[in-house]
Chain A
Amino acid sequence: MMKKCPVSALNTVLTALSGVAPLYLPVNGKGKDTRAKYTKYEDGMIYSTALNTVRSAKDFFFPQTENLVNFKVDGKNIEIIDPREEHEDFILFGVRACDYKSFDVLDRVFLSEPVDSYYASRRAHGIVFTMACTRPAETCFCTTFGIDPSEPQGDVSCYMTETDVYFDAKTEKGEVVLAKLGDLLADCEESTVNEQKELISSRMKALPLSSLSTEAFGGDKLDKLFDDPRWESLSESCLACGTCTYVCPTCQCYDIKDFDTGHGVCRFRCWDSCMYSEFTKMSAGQPRLTQMQRFRQRFMHKLVYYPANNDGLFSCVGCGRCLASCPISMNIVKVMKTLSEEAEDNGSK
């Protein structure tokens, strides 16, 4: 059963939700940086309807840094200390359809055998409230990857109009949480959000990137794309800053490092980027010598290698963060558009 509350009562609902489990939601920054970031809810905080948070929601399941194991070293002896604790339930509110789909992309990496227990524990305890995108941005292209922002999925799908917020439980977990809100939500017909869904669909169709196609990409396009001479011009200005990988909800490469705390050794993992020259550097040599090779690796992985291993699923969800954050305005859309065009002359193999 679809449920709803007036927009004016949203804070009462959020407060109640935060009583069920710690609640995280997008909140606009104060001061100079007013962009939305996921923040732990406290009474009175205003849910930001900004389309996208600066960083994606992947942080909650795959944090930027994470302690893997600790060691105590005493002369020739080592003690291995397992730091893992069972995570507690938490609620993520306001996740967009694109970010929600990114969890599927990450799941196929971290939950495939051998299962990553750190990720698995967070994933098992996360309860996700998605929010339909009533006002998609010009940088949005989730529909290219088959994502429907009018059906954002999650444990509970939410819709927001000028007057009301609607809650549609999609899983048992979602049902249980909504039941705990009791009288704060009123029952309503599922059809009440139909108008909203149609509005979103029509707005998506009108977006400038709505015609972006994946036709030229996929697991079987290795030979066609790898030697394309246009990688050179596409990557020419890349600064190798790695910003695209850090804001990307699906980038999942990581580094493992040791840190001497003074009382022992903390082994942690942190996000890494295939755009960095150190990424593949070995004592025996550097396999990817040029930025073109590293740039190509990132896009080939998202558009060819990942789909080859995952039933055609692309490792991009069209959130548009990289479009907004790249300092040289290079991004996956430009890569896809360029490589989709027939090569001039016969430069392409």
Chain B
Amino acid sequence: MAANNRPEALIPVLGVATDIRIDTPDVKTFRVVTPDGKKAFIHKPGQCAMLSIPGVGEAMFSITSSPTNEEYMEFSIKKCGCLTDWLHAMEVGQQITIRGPYGNAFPVDTAFAGQNLLFIAGGIGLAPLRSVINYVRHYRDRYGRVDIVYGSRSMNDLVDYQEIINEWCKEDGINVHLTIDREQEGWDGHVGFVPNYVTELNFPTDCIGIICGPPIMIKFTLAALEKMGFSKDQVYTTMEMRMKCGIGKCGRCNIGNKYVCKDGPVFRFDQLDELPEEYD
């Protein structure tokens, strides 16, 4: 007797990598559709998906493309473990599995509506924010001023560099502030760490901050914003935790009474304060 008419979140669907772009020495962006060329599912900016190579493993990745892209989904993935090594080694046309969408999303249609937005990203931390940035660009008239501060170790480590230069930088009302950690030949932009650059830029507090990057960068950037007068309830971030199920049952991403996979990954900093201080 077949029971497979019951829905089951843990059983994935097929995806195909139709384009693989090399972003940096350790980041590639994968375009994924179903075998019949459609998007696997509808998502909201900030949500995630479980990608897997059967026999290798399954892991959670943020969906970097905007939901307004109706043709495909994209994932910018840093090579840092077994599964990501495998993903980096695969060729166009390779099938993978995908399930989702998981998690909450950035409140693009509620708390963000009509607001000035300040995106601050470090390294691969741009990946989850790209979905929001492109969503905001698509519905440009729904938002106010947009600032994007993005920094990486070097010029070569800036993810989505071509899109940033060719599209984001050329758009009216969007101010892109790029920075790299150390001086580099061929780079005439800003040099310095993201938190310091944010302090230098001295943003007015009439905006919502959205931070994503390495934990240390998030910590110092939040401190910089607070020093400038931002309060924690106007700054958002998206968290990373180990996950297996993605639906709040396997227990891995549990912090306090929250599950990052289902109640997060997007949190406001005042919400994080209510959770036990486990992951400073």
Report which of A115, A118, A265, A272 forms a contact with B251, defined as CB distance below 8 A: A272
Segment of A14-22, A42-50, A66-74, A176-184 engaged in the interface with chain B: A66-74
Say yes or no for B244: interface residue by CB 8 A criterion.
yes
Residues 234 to 249 of chain B near chain A (Cβ within 8 Å): 240-242, 244-245, 247-249
> What B residues does A282 contact at CB under 8 A?
240-242
- What mask results when residues 264 to 283 of chain A are scored 1 for a CB within 8 Å of chain B, else 0? 01010100101000011111
Report which of A109, A117, A219, A226 forms a contact with B276, defined as CB distance below 8 A: A226
How far apart are A323's CB and chain B's nearest CB, in angstroms?
23
> What A residues does B276 contact at CB under 8 A?
222, 226, 300
Question: Is B247 within 8 A of A280, CB to CB?
Answer: no
Say yes or no for B42: interface residue by CB 8 A criterion.
no
Question: Is B256 within 8 A of A305, CB to CB?
Answer: yes
Question: Is B95 within 8 A of A78, CB to CB?
Answer: yes
Residues 64 to 120 of chain B near chain A (Cβ within 8 Å): 80-81, 84, 91, 93-97
Q: How far, in angstroms, from A267 to B244 measured CA to CA in the complex?
A: 12
Q: How far, in angstroms, from A274 to B240 measured CA to CA in the complex?
A: 17
Question: Is B245 within 8 A of A281, CB to CB?
Answer: no
Q: How far, in angstroms, from A80 to B54 measured CA to CA in the complex?
A: 9
Question: Is A82 within 8 A of B251, CB to CB?
Answer: no
How far apart are A76's CB and chain B's nearest CB, in angstroms?
5
Segment of A143-151, A156-164, A253-261 engaged in the interface with chain B: A253-261
- What mask results when residues 1 to 40 of chain B are scored 1 for a CB within 8 Å of chain A, else 0? 1111011111111100000000000000000000000000
> What B residues does A258 contact at CB under 8 A?
52, 54-58
Question: Is B3 within 8 A of A85, CB to CB?
Answer: yes
How far apart are A271's CB and chain B's nearest CB, in angstroms?
10
Residue of A nearest to B215 (CB): A285
Q: Is the interface of B mostly helix, strand, loop or mixed?
A: loop
Question: Is A121 within 8 A of B257, CB to CB?
Answer: no
Report which of B2, B58, B97 forms a contact with A80, defined as CB distance below 8 A: B97
Question: Is B7 within 8 A of A254, CB to CB?
Answer: no
Residue of B nearest to A260 (CB): B55
How far apart are B190's CB and chain A's nearest CB, in angstroms?
26
Question: Is A256 within 8 A of B250, CB to CB?
Answer: yes
Say yes or no for A110: interface residue by CB 8 A criterion.
yes
Say yes or no for A203: interface residue by CB 8 A criterion.
no
Q: How far, in angstroms, from A227 to B241 measured CA to CA in the complex?
A: 22
Known: A222-B256, A300-B276. A117 touches B3 (CB 8 A): yes
Q: How far, in angstroms, from A287 to B240 measured CA to CA in the complex?
A: 10
How far apart are A198's CB and chain B's nearest CB, in angstroms?
39
Report which of B13, B241, B249 forms a contact with A280, defined as CB distance below 8 A: B241
Residue of A nearest to B54 (CB): A71
Question: Is A253 within 8 A of B7, CB to CB?
Answer: no
- Please tell me the number of chain B residues within 8 Å of chain A, measured between CB atoms: 47
> What A residues does B13 contact at CB under 8 A?
80
Q: How far, in angstroms, from A109 to B251 measured CA to CA in the complex?
A: 10
Q: How far, in angstroms, from A226 to B273 measured CA to CA in the complex?
A: 13
Say yes or no for A210: interface residue by CB 8 A criterion.
no
Known: A82-B4, A293-B278. A283 touches B54 (CB 8 A): no
Q: How far, in angstroms, from A258 to B50 measured CA to CA in the complex?
A: 14
Known: A85-B1, A222-B256, A258-B55. A121 touches B9 (CB 8 A): no
Looking at chain A, what size class is its interface with the partner chain?
35 or more
Known: A258-B56, A267-B54, A282-B242. A253 touches B97 (CB 8 A): no
Say yes or no for A86: interface residue by CB 8 A criterion.
yes
Say yes or no for A230: interface residue by CB 8 A criterion.
no
Q: How far, in angstroms, from A120 to B5 measured CA to CA in the complex?
A: 13
Say yes or no for B139: interface residue by CB 8 A criterion.
no
Q: How far, in angstroms, from A272 to B249 measured CA to CA in the complex?
A: 12
> What A residues does B251 contact at CB under 8 A?
252-254, 272, 274, 301
Q: How far, in angstroms, from A121 to B39 measured CA to CA in the complex?
A: 31
Question: Is B96 within 8 A of A256, CB to CB?
Answer: no
Say yes or no for B252: interface residue by CB 8 A criterion.
yes
Report which of B56, B96, B240, B247 forms a contact with A284, defined as CB distance below 8 A: B240
Say yes or no for A233: interface residue by CB 8 A criterion.
no
Residue of B nearest to A70 (CB): B54
> What B residues does A293 contact at CB under 8 A?
278
Say yes or no for A288: interface residue by CB 8 A criterion.
yes
How far apart are B93's CB and chain A's nearest CB, in angstroms?
5
Q: How far, in angstroms, from A271 to B88 measured CA to CA in the complex?
A: 30
Report which of B96, B250, B252, B279 forms a contact with A78, defined as CB distance below 8 A: B96
Say yes or no for B254: interface residue by CB 8 A criterion.
yes
> What A residues does B54 contact at CB under 8 A?
71, 73, 78, 258, 265, 267
Q: How far, in angstroms, from A283 to B12 measured CA to CA in the complex?
A: 23
Question: Is B2 within 8 A of A305, CB to CB?
Answer: no
Residues of B that sit less than 8 Å from A by CB: 1-4, 6-14, 52, 54-58, 80-81, 84, 91, 93-97, 215, 240-242, 244-245, 247-252, 254, 256-257, 276-279
Given A86-B3, A117-B7, A258-B57: 5 more A-B contacts, CB < 8 Å: A85-B3, A114-B9, A222-B256, A258-B55, A258-B56
Contacts A/B (CB < 8 Å), 18 sampled: A69-B10, A71-B55, A71-B97, A78-B95, A78-B97, A84-B4, A85-B2, A85-B3, A114-B9, A219-B257, A254-B245, A258-B56, A279-B252, A280-B241, A281-B242, A287-B279, A288-B278, A301-B254
> Which 9 pairs between the two chains have the least Cβ-Cβ distance?
A253-B251, A71-B54, A308-B257, A283-B81, A86-B3, A265-B54, A82-B4, A283-B80, A86-B1
